[in-house]
Amino acid sequence: MKSVILLVLVALSAIFPTNAFAQNDGWHLVWQDEFDADGRPDSTKWTYERGFERNEELQWYAPENVFQRDGHLVIEARPADFPCPSYKEGSTYWRNNRPRILWTSGCVKTIGLFSFLYGRVEVRARIPVCLGVWPAIWLLGDRGGWPACGEIDMMEYFQYNGRPTVLANACWAGDKDTQWDSSYTPLNHFTDRDPAWAERFHVWRMDWDENAIRLYLDDELLNEIDLTTTINGKLRDTGINPFHHPQYLLLNLALDTRVRQYNPADFPMRYEIDYVRVFQKE
């Protein structure tokens, strides 16, 4: 059905001079993925992360855990048991001291393929909410290292202080450590209003201009980040505002490092993305 609707919109755009996805407030579509073809993600739009990546997380990222099916991008976390390719006997480094891979998952990103400065991002997705899951929609700056490159978390979901929580954040480099502007919304804020919330797809949105980053869930504002405050300090790239430079997109499903015992019945954990659309104003 989504493919039929998209074809109709494209046909209309050929007849009328306006963009098929142009929005009433002046935004015009500049990049999108509707995930309509079954199989692997579009290699002209996405690349994969591989192996252990960050936060001492337990999952090994593998391209095989990311696929398109029935009009959705699916990122799947699975139990595993095979020798760790990066294992080095005697190493104390977390990427190298695990002899076996016990969990796999996936992460795709647009690095080197697409980045942008200012705009609106809309991602329609259905997230898993079981214990230990950590899905995210986020962006990183394409200049410099973290955190001075800037990070925008349109969505993170995990157990925060023991409570299932939806996060909307941004971070940059401070004088001595990473500076965060974070919003924490308990999941029951949404499920009390809709007990079937976790069964549904929802739209996460970012509106980003030279003054602020505004992060929404189903049109509810979760966090507004004032960009006059996001100047890198002495830690790295002093005086640079990373949010005045282009960023690229990432979608991933991690396993929460604070949860060491997972329910086998929750696997495979599936994070489903219906579309990703990026708009800018002319």
Kindly report the average pLDDT of the chain as a whole number: 92
* 233: helix, strand or coil: coil
* pLDDT reading at 19 higher than 80: no
Q: Which of 2-6, 47-51, 202-206, 218-222 has the lowest mean pLDDT?
A: 2-6
* pLDDT reading at 6 higher than 60: no
pLDDT of 17 reads 39
Q: Find the radius of gyration of the CA atoms of the chain.
A: 19
* pLDDT reading at 206 higher than 90: yes
**Chain segment 110-169, per-residue pLDDT in tens:** 999 999 999 999 999 999 999 999 999 999 999 889 999 999 999 999 999 989 999 999
The residues spanned by each domain of the chain are 25-281
Return the C-alpha torsion angle 217, 221, 222, 224, nearest 10.
130
Q: How many residues does the chain have?
A: 282
Q: pLDDT-based confidence at 18, cuts 50/70/90?
A: very low
At the topology level, CATH places domain 25-281 in Jelly Rolls (2.60.120)
* 238: helix, strand or coil: coil
Percent residues over pLDDT 70 in the chain: 91
pLDDT of 143 reads 87
Mean pLDDT, residues 46-64: 96
Q: pLDDT-based confidence at 282, cuts 50/70/90?
A: confident
In angstroms, the CA 57 to CA 48 distance is 17
The H or E element containing residue 270 is strand 269-281
